[in-house]
Amino acid sequence: MFGKVSRRVLAVSLLAALAGCNKTQTGGAIESGGSASAATPAVIQAACPQITLRDGTSSYRTYAKGAKDDPTKVVYQASLADTTRQCVQSEDALKVTVVVQGRVVAGPAGGPGKVTLPIRVAATDGKKTLYSELTQFPVEVPQGSASTQFVFTKADVTIPAGAGAEAKVFVGFDEGPYRTQ
């Protein structure tokens, strides 16, 4: 029952974030009293690229030392599921906040504890990479539980304003070397 309620709350939260998908960055003048005057309302503008989970990168497994591809030696298994984003357009850039829901399950060789997930966010415009960063994201599987849900947020994905309608944002697990671009 609790899991169903948690999923509903998370789904509503993700939909609320999606509702503010596109907006233009606005500013407000400072009044003499030090408080900001009413800012110009946000305008829906530009194309906010969809978030795509690439095939083969939406799940991740860790194994006990020395084991690989042995289902009895799985320590943790993680998966990415639902995504959403919010974009803010300025004159020279499109800033995308990426939000991804995921889940971690302890395997037969695992239990409660911390797991670090290598999550890469990348943006492309056709064949050109505009942004790529790998984040080592910590998730805690609580005592008394074999699984937990998490929400990964990357708030500073910046791509050029002229990236065009072909811009795409990809999210997935990346077991490669830690590097940023």
The Cα–Cα gap between 83 and 51 comes to 6
Instruction: Band the pLDDT of 174: cuts 50, 70, 90.
Output: very high
pLDDT higher than 50, residue 120: yes
Q: What is the residue-wise DSSP string for 41-109?
A: PP---S--PPEEEPTT-SEEEEE-TT--S-GGGEEEEEEEEEEEEEEEE-SSEEEEEEEEEEEEEE-TT
Q: What is the pLDDT of residue 51?
A: 92
Residue partners of 12: CB distance under 8 A and separation at least 6? none
Which tokens sit at 21? 């998908």
Q: What is the pLDDT of residue 140?
A: 94
What does the pLDDT average to over 117-141? 93
Over the stretch 65-109, which tens digit does the pLDDT of each residue have? 878 888 899 999 999 999 999 998 888 888 999 999 999 999 999
Which tokens sit at 29? 């003048």
Instruction: Band the pLDDT of 164: cuts 50, 70, 90.
Output: low
More confident call, 88 vs 166: 88
Over the stretch 133-143, which tens digit does the pLDDT of each residue have? 999 999 999 98
The Cα–Cα gap between 149 and 105 comes to 9
Residue 32: strand, helix, or coil: coil
Instruction: Band the pLDDT of 179: cuts 50, 70, 90.
Output: very low
pLDDT higher than 80, residue 117: yes
Please give the DSSP secondary-structure letter assigned to residue 39.
Answer: P
Instruction: Band the pLDDT of 144: cuts 50, 70, 90.
Output: confident
pTM of the model: 0.72
In the chain, where are the structural domains located?
Answer: 2-23+43-173
Per the listing, tokens 């959403």 go with 84
Please give the DSSP secondary-structure letter assigned to residue 180.
Answer: B
